[in-house]
Amino acid sequence: MPHNIPASVVTDTFSLARISAFHAFFKAENQAQCLGALVWHQSVAAAMWPLICLVEISLRNRLHVGLSRMYAAAWYAGARNSMPLQTKLQSRADELLSATDAAGNARIGCPDDFVAAMSFGFWVEVLRQVHVNRRYRLVEAIFPNYGPLKDKKLWADAAKTWIPLLRRLERHKRVRDQIGHHTPLWNIKYTVRETEPPRVPKSPGAMMLALRQEVSSLRQTLLDMDVSLARLWDGTFFQQAFLQLTTTNGLYYYMYHTADSGKVLRPFRETRYLSIAELQASGVPRLV
């Protein structure tokens, strides 16, 4: 937690548009509180990043393995036994496959190089192009714990099976891009009732709800792939930091303690992080 940072760093470092947006959304009363909100926002993004990376890496590797078994090891190569890709997507793959480094050596020497080099967006686009007759088998290979797999007859209706999964991954990709490009996270929508359309947060509290829903969704994606993958997130420092940050007490501590805010707030109570054994025993991650 940073201390004694001059509040003038806000005007000297950040654009007026960004400062104004944070002032308005967090109702900051001065530059010091605005700086605190900025640092809090960055801290929340940093806490979420390992989970997003875990989902992205798991997805791309499992998708690659599934497509390799369905087509060929180099399913992206544009050969006779490759997966049919739209022209734009195939061009992206071909461009990378023909790329060389400064010494003239090929950048892609094996399928693993290709998988690691392609963006999250590429993999989501690949999923969009999976033929309808191959969707069930591919999802079964990548997301064996995905609920709708229990009834194969349901897959005649993509709106109840394929599309919800695809929309979830698209949302993960958008959140990843927002964090990577340092855009405001209060644009992430949240759901109050399943029968109502998602809402854009209008307050910090609603923003925290949206972020917690997204983290829960990211974790569910890991569970759908393999239950053990979620254990790489559960009980970690990042998970508990996220839970602590996404509280009003966590936000206000940053806003009133990052710089001289002109207000006095009671000291933030020290948090004892639960051990992994305690988390498993409790069933639900929580703070004490």
Q: pLDDT tier at 181 (50, 70, 90 boundaries)?
A: very high
pLDDT at 18: 87
Q: Tokens in use for 252?
A: 């206000």
| Cβ density class 233-244: b for 16+ within 10 Å, e for less | bebbeebbbbbb
The total of other beta-carbon atoms located within 10 Å of residue 151's CB is 10
Into how many domains does the chain fold?
1
Residue 194 clears pLDDT 90, i.e. is over it: no
Integer distance in angstroms from the first to the last C-alpha of the chain? 19
**Is the Cα dihedral 141, 233, 110, 75 positive or negative?**
positive
Q: What is the mean pLDDT of residues 84-89?
A: 93
How far apart, in Å, are the Cα atoms of 211 and each of 96, 200, 207, 218, 253? 34, 12, 6, 10, 19
pLDDT, tens digit, 9 for 90 and up, residues 262-288: 443 343 444 444 444 554 454 443 333
Instruction: Specify if 252 maps to a domain.
Output: yes
pLDDT at 259: 59
Instruction: Specify if 179 maps to a domain.
Output: yes
Q: pLDDT tier at 173 (50, 70, 90 boundaries)?
A: very high
Please indicate whether residue 272 or residue 43 has the higher confidence score (pLDDT): 43
User: CA-to-CA distance for 235 and 240, rounded, in angstroms?
Assistant: 7
pLDDT mean across residues, the chain: 87
Instruction: Specify if 3 maps to a domain.
Output: no
Q: Tokens in use for 101?
A: 């480094």
Q: What is the mean pLDDT of residues 65-72?
A: 94
Length of the chain: 288
Instruction: Specify if 288 maps to a domain.
Output: no
Instruction: Specify if 2 maps to a domain.
Output: no
> What's the chain look like in SS3?
CCCCCCCCHHHHHCCHHHHHHHHHHHCCCCHHHHHHHHHHHHHHHHHHHHHHHHHHHHHHHHHHHHHHHHCCCCCCCCCCCCCCCCHHHHHHHHHHHCCECCCCCECCCCHHHHHHHCCHHHHHHHHHCCCHHHHHHHHHHHCCCCHHHHCHHHHHCHHHCHHHHHHHHHHHHHHHHHHHCCCCHHHCCECCCCCCCCECCCCHHHHHHHHHHHHHHHHHHHHHHCHHHHCCCCCCHHHHHHHHHCCHHHHHHHHHHCCCCCCCCCCCCCCCCCCHHHHHHHCCCCCC
Give residue 64's identity as a one-letter amino acid code: H
The answer to whether 213 touches 219, Cβ cutoff 8 Å, is: no
> Residue 197, class by beta-carbon neighbours within 10 Å (0-12 exposed, 13-18 middle, 19+ buried)?
exposed
Residue showing tokens 């990709």: 173
Residue 260 clears pLDDT 70, i.e. is over it: no
pLDDT at 12: 74
pLDDT, tens digit, 9 for 90 and up, residues 102-137: 888 899 989 999 999 999 999 999 999 999 999 999
Instruction: Specify if 287 maps to a domain.
Output: no
Domain around 28: 9-282
Instruction: Specify if 225 maps to a domain.
Output: yes
Q: What is the mean pLDDT of residues 205-220?
A: 96
Instruction: Specify if 4 maps to a domain.
Output: no
pLDDT at 268: 41
pLDDT at 257: 80
Please indicate whether residue 213 or residue 4 has the higher confidence score (pLDDT): 213
